[in-house]
Amino acid sequence: AAEAVVREGVVPLAVGLGTCCLSGVESERQVLDGLAAGYRLVDTASHYGNEAAVAAALKKSGVRRSEVMLVTKIWYDDMGPNASAAINRSLTELGTDYVDLLLMHFPGSIDAMQSPSANRQRRYDTWRCMEDAQRSGVARQIGVSNFT
């Protein structure tokens, strides 16, 4: 498998299981099947509404949490100075005390419809909350996703 080491020494996996557009029992089944097939990176997001199903699949799979790279994302509606509450909600939904990768989800998508300067501040505030999450150990890595 292809590997790359990022700054903090975490080795991300090259292939992962995405859970966008999956919900409920379907989401849980797909993640269970993926883990059984050998996937060890699971990508979800608060906006997908399936973090609890991902958690249930991880629990039922018997795969140790430490063996799975778990990725989640903060949605635009949760960005800003209160992003830490969204991070905590995701951790609760995922049934874990940390994620391996925490991403800001579509952070630039609303600029065309709203104030770019206000959105810049939301991104800044969100990033600061994400840095706090990383410092406290609830996010091993942080980054952005779909910055369009």
Kindly list the strands in the beta sheet with 99-105, ordered across the sheet, starting from the edge strand earlier in the chain: 17-18, 41-43, 69-74, 99-105, 139-145
What sign does the dihedral 25-72-75-2 (CA atoms) show?
Answer: negative
Query: How far apart are the C-alpha atoms of 41 and 61, rounded to whole Å?
Result: 14
Which pairs count as long-range contacts for 11-14, CB under 8 Å and 24+ apart, including other chains?
12/41, 12/69, 12/101, 12/141, 13/40, 13/41, 13/69
Amino acid at 129: C
Which of the following is catalytic: 48, 76, 98, 124? 48
Q: Could you tell me which residues are beta bridge partners of residue 105?
A: 145
Q: Tokens 């995405």: give the residue.
A: 18
48 carries an active-site annotation: yes
CB atoms near residue 146 (< 10 Å)? 12
Active-site residues: which are they? 48
